[in-house]
C-alpha cells in the first residue's frame, strides 16, 4: 500500500506536505518526497488528507458499549452500585463479545487502533479484538474480598493465567495479556501482593485504577496507615512491572515521586472524570516530572463515546481551565499523549509514530472540511477544530480496518443486532 | 417538504418515533402519526434519523474564521493585544464578508441556524448572513474611548443606526439588528448611557460581554465604586431592553438578582472560557434563579470550531466537574440551552422548537451511526455521544441550506479560496 502526495505528521510532530509513505506487510518501509521505485500495489492519493499515527487508548472497558447512556445523571455511588454493577452481573460471555465488537467498530471509526482494557469475561472481549484486527492489552481486573482465598483459586488470577498462556503475543504481537488490578478498595493486601509477584514472574504489564475519586483516595489512607494508593501499591510491589495507572486525579506530592521513579504511566480519562465529577488530573505537574502521560476514553457509559479527537480537545481545555493558564498544555503534548505515549504504555515500542520500521498503525484525516480551514497551525486544527468523523481511514498493522464508513473485519449490522437483543434481555432480567 | 417515519424531538423534549412532519413555506404546519392528506412535494424518509430544532448560537464573532488556530497557546493578554487585535486591524470589509461566509458554512454543517454576532465591518458580516440564508442578530460592538465624543459621531453608533435602518427585520425577520456594547472596559459612562437610551428608543435587543475574566470584573469594581459589571450596566439603563450578556463567569451574589429581575440572558461560552482559561460559569445557580441560559461558541479563534454538538457536551461536563456533582445539569437542560433558550434570547418567539406554527429551523441527525447505539436514552446520546458530523441536513425558515456536505446557498470553494488569499495578505502586512 502506498500513500502519495499526502500531508504527514512525522515522528517529531512536524507537518510535512506532499509525502510518499509505503507500507509492506505490517510495517512502514518508505517515507519520502519522491515516488519510490518499488511497486506497492494499491495507491491512495492523499490530496486534502493528513496521515498521522492511530490512537492508543490506554484505559477502557469496551464491552460497556452495551450500557451507553444507561442510568445517566445519577451520583457516582447510585450509578455504580445500584445500576451499573447489577446490569453487568447479568452479562454473558456472548454479551461481552458483541458489546466489545460494537465498541471496536466505534473506536476504529474514531481512529483508535489499540486499547488497554479491563473487564469481566475477558477472554470473550479479547476474542472480539482478535477477530476485528485491532490491538488490545487485555486485563481481567483482579478483585478479591475473601481473606482466606488462595491466589490460585481466584477467578481473576485464573483468567490472567489463561490469557497469558493462550493469547499473550499472538497475532504477531497484536494481542497482549496484561496483569490488572481493579483498585485498592476491591482487594486485600496479602493476595494482592501474591498477584503482583505473579505478574513480575511472568513479566506482564500491569493495569490499575488509582486515585480516581477523592473518597477512594482518602479511604485508602485511612485503611493503610496514611498510605496513598500510589504508596500502597508501590509497597506491595506492583510497580516492579510497567504499570498504567488510570485516572490519578487526587495524587499527592510524594505520589508524583513514586510514579516518576517507577516509570508508571498515568492514563488520564478527562471526559469520564468530568462526567462523573471526579475531578481533573494535574497534567502539567505529571509532564514536568517526566511521567509518561497518555489519554484514554474509559468505558463508554461514563463518556459516552470512544472519540479520541474529542478526548484530546477535552483533555487540553480542562487542563487550561484547571490551571487558569492557557499555556499549560500544547497541541503537540496533547497529540503525543494520544499516540506514542499510549503505545509506550502498552509496551508497543515499534508503534505510535510514523517512521520507517514502525508498525503501520495509521489514520487518514480529512483536512479539507470547512471547519479545518484555514490552517494557521495544523496541530491546533487537529486538537481544537477537528471532528471525530473527519477520520476517513484506520489502519492497524498495515491492514485497513475502517474506510469511509465501511468495516473490513466487522459485521456491523450483526454486532448492532446482537447488542440490541442482549441489552433488552438484560433490562428484562433486572 | 415532508418528513416521514422520522423520530422527532418535540417541544417537550420527548422523543417520538415514526412521525410525519410537514413544512409549508417557512413554517411547520403538520406533525402527526399518520400521513397528511396534503401533497407536500418533496418527501424525506426518516429511517434512522432524528429531527430536532436547529441550534441558536447566542454569542459569536463569525468573521474570526480567518484567524482559526492563529496565535494559540498564549496567555490572554498577549493573544488579544499582540496578536488578535493587530490582525483584525488589517481586515477589509471583503475580508469580513468571506471570513463570515466560511464560518456560516461550518455553522450550517454543525446545525447552527441562527447567530448572535458582534464584529467590525458589521454590515459586511450581515450581508454574508443575508446571502447564506442563515439568521443573524447583528451587533457592531460599541466602543468609545474619547470623553468628548458625541454619540452621533461614534462609528459604532452609526453602524447600529445603519443596520437598524437598512437590515432590521428584513428577509421576513431572518435578519435582526441588535444594539451591542463591547464591554465595560472599552467604553465611557456618559456616552454608553446615551447609546443605551438610543437602544430603548428603537426597541432593539442588546448584546454585551460581561464578567468574562476575573481581572475585567475586578477592574470594573475599582473604576466604579465597587459596582460589578452587571450592577454598572443596570444603573446605566442597559437592561431596559432585552439583553444577552456573554460569559458571566465571575458573577457575584447580587448579579444573579439583577439578571433575574431584568430578564437578561446569559450566553455561556464553555469551550472559549476553558481555552482562554477564563473559568466556568455557575449554570446551576443561573437556572435555579430562572435566568434564561443559552449556549454559544464565541469566536472560532478561541474555540476553535463552531460545533454546537461538541459545545453541548463541554457545557454539561464542565458544569459537572465544576460542581463536583454529576447531577448538576441534565441533557434536557443542555439541549434547551442550545435551542429554544437561544431563540428566546434572540427575540425569535416562533423559533427553537418543533411545533405547528413555528418557523421550520430544523436539523436532521443521523442516529444510525455505531457511536449512537444502543439507545438507553436518546437525550443522553444526543448530548454525550453524538458527533458534529452526524448532522446530515440543516434547514432554516423552511429552506434546506446544507445536506450531506452540499451547500445550497454558499459557494464553499470560493469562500475557502478568498479566505486563504486574504489570510495570507494580512499575515504579509503584519
Question: pLDDT tens across A315-328, in order?
Answer: 999 999 999 999 99
Q: Measured over all CA atoms, what is the biggest interatomic distance in chain B, rounded to whole angstroms?
A: 66
Q: Is the pLDDT of residue A238 over 90?
A: yes
The verdict on A127 and A209 lying in the same domain is: yes
Is residue A163 located within the same domain as residue A264?
A: yes
Question: A205 at the B interface (CB within 8 A)?
Answer: no
- Looking at the complex, report in whole angstroms how far the Cα of residue B291 sits from the nearest Cα belonging to chain A: 22
- The range of the structural domain enclosing residue B16 comes to 2-53+352-407
Residues of B in contact with A283 (CB under 8 A): none
CB atoms within 10 A of CB A397: 22
Interchain proximity A388–B389, CB inside 8 Å? yes
pLDDT tens series, chain B, 430 aa: 999 999 999 999 999 999 999 999 999 999 999 999 999 999 999 999 999 999 999 999 999 999 999 998 888 788 888 999 999 999 999 999 999 999 999 999 999 999 999 999 999 999 999 999 999 999 999 999 999 999 999 999 999 999 999 999 999 999 999 999 999 999 999 999 999 999 999 999 999 999 999 999 999 999 999 999 999 999 999 999 999 999 999 999 999 999 999 999 999 999 999 999 999 999 999 999 999 999 999 999 999 999 999 999 999 999 999 999 999 999 999 999 999 999 999 999 999 999 999 999 999 999 999 999 999 999 999 999 999 999 999 999 999 999 999 999 999 999 999 999 999 999 999 9
Range name among A10-19, A71-80, A322-331, B305-314 with the lowest pLDDT average: A71-80
Rounded to the nearest angstrom, the minimum Cα separation between B235 and chain A is 31
Confidence of residue A74 (pLDDT cuts 50, 70, 90): confident
- Is 90 exceeded by the pLDDT of residue A169? yes
Residues B20 and B81 in one domain: no
Q: How much is the pLDDT for A75?
A: 80
Q: What is the mean pLDDT of chain A?
A: 97
Cell of A162: 489463561
In a domain, B394, yes or no: yes
Instruction: Give the CATH number of the domain where residue A195 resides.
Output: 3.20.20.140
Q: How many structural domains compose chain A?
A: 2
By the CB < 8 Å criterion, does A341 face chain B? no
The pLDDT value recorded for residue A78 is 86
Question: Is B200 found in the same domain as B188?
Answer: yes
What's B33's domain CATH number?
2.30.40.10
Classified as helix, coil or strand, B112 is: strand
Residue B425 lies in a domain: no
Alpha-carbon dihedral angle through residues B155, B161, B167, B170, given to the nearest 10 degrees: 160
Q: Is A420 near chain B, with CB under 8 Å?
A: yes
* B184 close to A (CB below 8 A): no
The confidence score (pLDDT) of residue B76 equals 78
Q: How much is the pTM?
A: 0.98
- Residue after which a domain boundary falls, among B319, B345, B371: B345
The answer to whether the Cβ–Cβ distance between B321 and A71 falls below 8 Å is: no
A218 in the same domain as A87: yes
Maximum distance among all Cα pairs of chain A, rounded to whole angstroms: 66
Which candidate from B69, B75, B325 shows the least CB-CB separation from A385? Answer: B69
pLDDT at residue B84 in the model: 94
Q: Which residues in chain B are closer than 8 Å to A423, comparing Cβ atoms?
A: 374, 376
Residue at B393 is within a domain: yes
Sign of CA dihedral A163, A337, A317, B343: negative
Does A271 contact chain B (CB < 8 Å)?
yes
Band (pLDDT 50/70/90 cuts) for residue A357 is: very high
Identify whether residues A175 and A296 lie together within a single domain. Answer: yes
A310 and chain B in contact, CB less than 8 A: yes
Mutate to test the interface with B, among A102, A326, A380, A430 (most CBs of B within 10 A): A326
- Residue A68 has a pLDDT of 97
Are B72 and A388 inside 8 Å of each other by CB?
A: no
Instruction: Indicate the pLDDT class of residue A14, thresholds 50, 70 and 90.
Output: very high
Q: How many CB pairs under 8 A join A and B?
A: 210
A95 falls in which pLDDT band (50, 70, 90)?
Answer: very high
**Rounded (5°) CA angle B109-B115-B118:** 130
Average pLDDT over residues A91-107: 98
Query: Could you tell me if A74 and A40 lie in one domain?
Result: no
Does residue B428 lie within any of the structural domains? no
Same domain as B316, residue B210: yes
ipTM over 0.90: yes
Neighboring chain A residues of B67 at a CB cutoff of 8 Å: 376
Domain stop point among B301, B325, B345: B345
CA-nearest residue to B414 within chain A is A370
Which residues of chain B are within 8 Å of residue A402 when distances are taken between CB atoms? none
Residue A267 half-sphere exposure, CB side, CA atoms within 13 Å? 28
Q: Which residues contact A424 (CB under 8 A, 6 or more apart)?
A: none
| pLDDT of A77 | 81
Helix, strand, coil proportions of chain A in percent (round to 5)?
45, 20, 35
Q: Helix, strand, or coil here: B44?
A: strand
Q: What is the pLDDT of residues B208-250, one digit of tens each?
A: 999 999 999 999 999 999 999 999 999 999 999 999 999 999 9
CA distance to partner chain B, nearest, from residue A110 (Å): 9
Cβ contact B70–A416 (<8 Å)? no
Assess if residue A296 is contained within a domain.
yes
Contacts for B346-349: CB closer than 8 Å, 24+ residues apart: B346/B56, B346/B58, B346/B114, B346/B116, B346/B135, B346/B137, B346/B176, B346/B205, B346/B244, B347/B137, B347/B176, B347/B205, B347/B242, B348/B56, B348/B114, B348/B135, B348/B173, B348/B176
Residues A6 and A60 in one domain: no
Buried b (16+ CB within 10 A) or exposed e, A142-173: bbbeeeeeebeebebbebbbebbeebbeeeeb
Question: Each residue of A363-404: pLDDT tens digit?
Answer: 999 999 999 999 999 999 999 999 999 999 999 999 999 999
Given this model, what pLDDT does residue B75 score? 80
Q: Are residues B168 and B34 in the same domain?
A: no
- In this predicted structure, what is the pLDDT of residue A76? 78
User: A12 and A83: one domain?
Assistant: no
Q: Does A303 touch chain B (CB under 8 A)?
A: yes
Choose one of A345, A361, A389: the last residue of a domain. A345
What is the predicted pLDDT for the residue at B74? Answer: 84
pLDDT above 90: residue A154: yes
Burial A1-32 (b: 16+ CB within 10 A, else e): bbbbebbbbbeebebeeebbbbbeebebbbbe
pLDDT at B73: 81
**According to the model, what pLDDT value does residue B78 have?**
86
- Is the same domain home to A113 and A45? no
Whether A418 is in a domain gets the answer no
Distance from CA of A366 to the nearest CA of B (A): 12
- A251-291 pLDDT, tens digit each: 999 999 999 999 999 999 999 999 999 999 999 999 999 99
Residue A326 maps to a domain: yes
Q: B415: nearest CA in chain A?
A: A370
Q: Of A75, A271, A280, which is closest to B327 when you measure between CB atoms?
A: A75
Query: Cβ separation of A73 and B330 shorter than 8 Å?
Result: yes
Chain A residue with minimum CA distance to B412: A370
Residue A425 lies inside a defined structural domain of this protein? no
Q: Is residue B420 less than 8 Å (CB to CB) from chain A?
A: yes
A284 close contact with B: CB closer than 8 A? no
Amino acid at each position: 500500500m502506498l500513500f502519495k502526495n499526502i500531508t504527514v505528521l512525522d515522528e517529531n510532530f512536524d507537518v510535512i506536505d506532499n509525502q510518499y509513505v509505503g507500507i509492506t506487510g505490517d510495517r512502514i518501509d518508505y517515507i519520502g518526497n519522491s515516488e519510490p521505485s518499488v511497486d506497492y500495489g494499491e495507491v491512495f492519493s492523499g490530496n486534502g488528507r493528513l496521515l498521522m499515527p492511530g490512537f492508543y487508548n490506554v484505559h477502557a472497558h469496551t464491552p460497556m458499549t452495551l450500557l451507553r447512556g444507561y442510568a445517566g445523571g445519577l451520583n457516582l455511588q447510585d450509578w455504580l452500585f445500584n445500576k451499573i454493577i447489577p446490569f453487568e452481573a447479568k452479562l454473558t460471555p456472548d454479551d461481552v463479545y458483541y458489546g466489545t465488537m460494537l465498541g471496536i467498530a466505534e473506536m476504529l471509526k474514531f481512529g483508535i487502533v489499540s486499547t488497554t482494557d479491563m473487564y469481566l469475561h475477558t477472554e470473550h472481549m479479547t476474542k472480539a479484538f482478535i477477530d476485528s484486527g485491532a490491538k488490545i492489552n487485555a486485563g481481567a481486573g483482579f478483585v478479591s474480598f475473601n481473606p482466606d482465598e488462595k491466589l490460585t483459586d481466584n477467578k481473576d488470577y485464573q483468567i490472567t493465567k489463561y490469557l497469558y498462556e493462550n493469547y499473550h503475543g499472538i497475532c504477531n504481537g497484536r494481542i497482549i495479556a496484561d496483569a490488572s488490578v481493579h483498585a485498592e478498595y476491591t482487594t486485600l493486601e496479602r493476595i494482592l501482593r501474591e498477584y503482583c509477584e505473579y505478574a513480575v514472574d511472568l513479566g506482564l504489564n500491569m493495569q490499575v485504577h488509582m486515585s480516581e475519586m477523592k473518597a477512594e483516595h482518602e479511604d485508602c489512607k485511612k485503611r493503610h496507615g496514611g498510605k496513598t494508593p500510589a504508596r500502597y501499591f508501590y509497597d506491595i510491589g506492583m510497580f516492579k512491572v510497567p504499570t498504567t495507572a488510570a485516572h490519578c486525579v487526587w495524587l499527592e506530592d510524594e505520589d508524583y515521586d513514586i510514579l516518576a521513579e517507577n516509570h508508571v504511566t498515568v492514563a488520564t480519562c478527562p471526559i469520564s472524570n468530568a462526567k462523573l465529577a471526579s475531578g481533573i488530573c494535574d497534567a502539567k505537574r505529571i509532564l514536568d516530572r517526566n511521567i509518561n502521560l497518555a489519554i484514554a476514553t474509559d468505558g463508554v457509559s461514563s463518556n459516552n463515546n470512544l472519540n479520541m479527537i474529542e478526548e484530546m480537545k477535552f483533555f487540553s481545555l480542562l487542563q487550561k481551565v484547571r490551571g487558569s493558564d492557557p499555556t499549560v498544555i500544547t497541541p503537540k503534548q496533547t497529540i503525543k499523549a494520544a499516540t506514542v505515549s499510549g503505545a509506550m504504555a502498552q509496551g508497543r515500542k515499534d508503534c505510535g509514530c510514523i517512521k520507517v520500521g514502525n508498525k503501520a498503525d495509521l489514520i487518514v484525516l480529512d483536512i479539507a472540511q470547512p471547519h479545518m480551514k484555514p490552517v494557521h497551525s495544523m496541530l491546533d486544527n487537529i486538537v481544537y477544530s477537528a471532528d471525530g468523523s473527519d477520520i476517513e481511514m484506520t489502519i492497524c498493522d498495515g491492514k485497513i480496518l475502517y474506510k469511509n464508513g465501511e468495516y473490513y473485519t466487522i459485521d456491523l449490522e450483526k454486532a448492532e443486532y446482537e447488542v440490541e437483543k442482549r441489552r433488552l434481555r438484560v433490562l428484562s432480567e433486572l
